[in-house]
Chains A and B, each alone.
Chain A
Amino acid sequence: MTVTQEPLVLGFETSCDETGIGLVRGHTLLADALATSMEEHERFGGVVPEIASRAHLEAMVPTVRRALADAGVTAGDVDAVAVTSGPGLTGALLVGVAAAKAYALALDVPLYGVNHLAAHVAVDELQHGPLAEPSIALLVSGGHSSLLLVPDLAREVESLGRTLDDAAGEAFDKVARVLGLPFPGGPPIDKAAREGDPSAISFPRGLTGPRDAPYDFSFSGLKTAVARWVEARQRAGEPVPVADVAASFQEAVADVLTAKAVRACRDHGVDHLVLGGGVAANSRLRALAEERCAAAGIGLRVPSPRLCTDNGAMVAALGSRLMAAGVAPSAPDLGADSSLPIETVSR
């Protein structure tokens, strides 16, 4: 007697600086191999697209091999290939798309070009099982800050709001620079903030006025306010209380993000919230989201920090979900779209 297994999906993620290769069967994570070129970007204070693209090419085959070895499977066992088709850096995306198309062609399996943002939502199914639908998703990273309504992750995702200027993660990077902390700024600010007083400085909460767009974000004013505050201190020859500035800045970001996410849940009668993206690894954001969701009777799901950041498992997870839902695979002329709209879950 043969046991019918769910399909094995190989996922490719190269939208920014991480070369992520994941293997997923159903909702089970089998491998999550990652190569990063972050160190090469550090001295530039941000991701340099051409450096990232070169690194993706170098890392591609070794990372696929590592994922297969970690999962204890061979390439011939793969039933489908999924790849981030957008949004992201064009040159970086194209390395992953071309590689995924080649593996799909060689292995004679279907190919799914997927949306990076939807994949950030799908990854939670690997830890917490099928997503409640509808859910609200709050995705925050160095590249995106989005509030989504997810009636059907395989077919229908709706954008409720997004950042009008900087992504939340960018604000962390810039504030870290002002405070003399390393790039990327998220982890060092989180660490410094633990010793600080979050109410020491009252930084502005962007777009929270009664007439502002209820689900859009703006972090540019906050970033500038922090810089001005620090510069004023420096001009006056006074020491900068790094921990207090970090804690107060982080509090402002977490406050706005969670308040808007909870409001989106309430306004749409949705009682499930999913967090994703690198900034979702921030300890204060997680704590405040838990507190406010508990108070509002909203079920909160947050993947482990490792799965919040970009990885191949999230792409494989969405591919797995698309297969289960019977969504048609991508056409053979699949390419990359750096500004792929969130409404396009797969293409």
Chain B
Amino acid sequence: MLVLALDTATPTLVAGLARWSAADGAQVLAQRCVASGTKHAELLTPAIRDALADAGLSMAGLEAVVVGLGPGPFTGLRVGVVTAAALADALGLPVIGVCSLDAVGSGARTVVTDARRKEVYWATYTADGTRAAGPAVARPADLAAAGPFVGDPAFADRLGAPVEAADVTTAGLLRAAAPQLADPSTAVALVPLYLRRPDATPPAALKAVSQT
């Protein structure tokens, strides 16, 4: 099965292509990782086009779309999720969402990525790669999770422990998606892992307009 994998949960967007089967797992054919910062919307579709060209394939050959649901900064995260949903809808393909942190590193580890506001998104995994805790958001100083840490090394100081640099990869996304690819009836709803409520409070007491 030819799968397009996308992720925009971190400042580096990922667009990859892989052959996948339940028996043999994933064989990555092409991968574009673009340090796109806050320009995911601008650069994601060009990256998909480039990855297809690298692999010598066209959109018409795709059979499924996998997308990272975060957690990650909301605006960029939505770009990936809506792109995956729209591509899948237009092409009549299944779309499968996975936790983006599952696609970072491998084995026993705690993944930390930048949640802004001096916080991290994190999740902890056992040796066989099963997620044991998270995803959640926390201040590094309050994080009680065990190392080794992988993900964004910028948090090493605040964690008081080394963080091995690791990013979301196509292989990681496919690995996380494998159970759902094997049994599409288990596919989760395509809803971003926001983990935070929108910043909005109803006006408590309305000030007189003439005083504002």
Interface residue ranges, A against B (CB under 8 Å) = 43-45, 48, 50-51, 53-54, 56-58, 60-61, 64-65, 75, 90-91, 94-95, 97-103, 105-108, 174, 177-178, 223-224, 226-228, 231, 332-336
Given contacts A48-B199, A57-B192, A333-B46, 13 further A-B contacts (CB under 8 A): A45-B202, A50-B198, A57-B78, A61-B85, A90-B75, A91-B78, A99-B82, A106-B59, A106-B90, A177-B206, A231-B208, A333-B42, A333-B43
Q: Is there an interface contact between A105 and B87, defined as CB atoms closer than 8 Å? A: yes
- CA A100 – CA B44 in complex, angstroms? 12
Closest to B46 in A: A332
B86 located at the interface, meaning its Cβ lies under 8 Å from any Cβ of chain A in the complex: yes
State the Cβ distance, B116 to closest chain A Cβ, in Å: 13
Q: Is there an interface contact between B41 and A174, defined as CB atoms closer than 8 Å? A: no
24 A-B contact pairs sorted by A residue (CB < 8 Å): A48-B198, A53-B78, A54-B194, A57-B78, A57-B82, A61-B85, A91-B75, A94-B78, A95-B78, A98-B40, A98-B83, A100-B86, A101-B41, A102-B82, A105-B48, A105-B49, A105-B87, A106-B86, A107-B90, A177-B209, A224-B209, A227-B209, A332-B46, A333-B43
State the Cβ distance, B193 to closest chain A Cβ, in Å: 12
Q: Per-position contact with A for B92-113: 1 when CB-CB < 8 Å, else 0?
A: 0000000000000000000000
Residues of A with C-beta under 8 A to B89: 61, 64-65, 75, 103
Q: Is there an interface contact between B202 and A43, defined as CB atoms closer than 8 Å? A: yes
Closest to A106 in B: B90
Residues of A with C-beta under 8 A to B191: 58
State the Cβ distance, A85 to closest chain B Cβ, in Å: 10
- With contact pairs A94-B78, A334-B42 given, residues A102 and B87 touching in the complex (Cβ less than 8 Å): yes
A95: contacting residue among B43, B82, B91, CB under 8 A: B82
State the Cβ distance, A224 to closest chain B Cβ, in Å: 5
B200 located at the interface, meaning its Cβ lies under 8 Å from any Cβ of chain A in the complex: yes
- With contact pairs A53-B78, A101-B41, A106-B86 given, residues A332 and B198 touching in the complex (Cβ less than 8 Å): no
- CA A51 – CA B199 in complex, angstroms? 9
- CA A334 – CA B42 in complex, angstroms? 5
Total count of chain B residues near the partner, CB < 8 A? 39
Residues of A with C-beta under 8 A to B203: 44-45
- CA A102 – CA B48 in complex, angstroms? 10
Q: Is there an interface contact between A94 and B192, defined as CB atoms closer than 8 Å? A: no
- With contact pairs A178-B209, A227-B208, A335-B41 given, residues A103 and B86 touching in the complex (Cβ less than 8 Å): yes
Q: Is there an interface contact between B41 and A94, defined as CB atoms closer than 8 Å? A: yes
B45 located at the interface, meaning its Cβ lies under 8 Å from any Cβ of chain A in the complex: yes
Q: Which secondary structure dominates chain B's binding surface?
A: helix
Closest to B77 in A: A57
Q: Is there an interface contact between A50 and B83, defined as CB atoms closer than 8 Å? A: no
- CA A44 – CA B198 in complex, angstroms? 12
- CA A61 – CA B89 in complex, angstroms? 7
Q: Is there an interface contact between B200 and A61, defined as CB atoms closer than 8 Å? A: no
- With contact pairs A51-B200, A97-B41, A333-B46 given, residues A102 and B208 touching in the complex (Cβ less than 8 Å): no
A102: contacting residue among B45, B200, B201, B210, CB under 8 A: B45
- CA A87 – CA B83 in complex, angstroms? 21
Residues of A with C-beta under 8 A to B78: 53-54, 56-57, 91, 94-95, 98
Residues of A with C-beta under 8 A to B45: 101-102, 105, 332
- CA A153 – CA B173 in complex, angstroms? 45
Residues of B with C-beta under 8 A to A223: 209
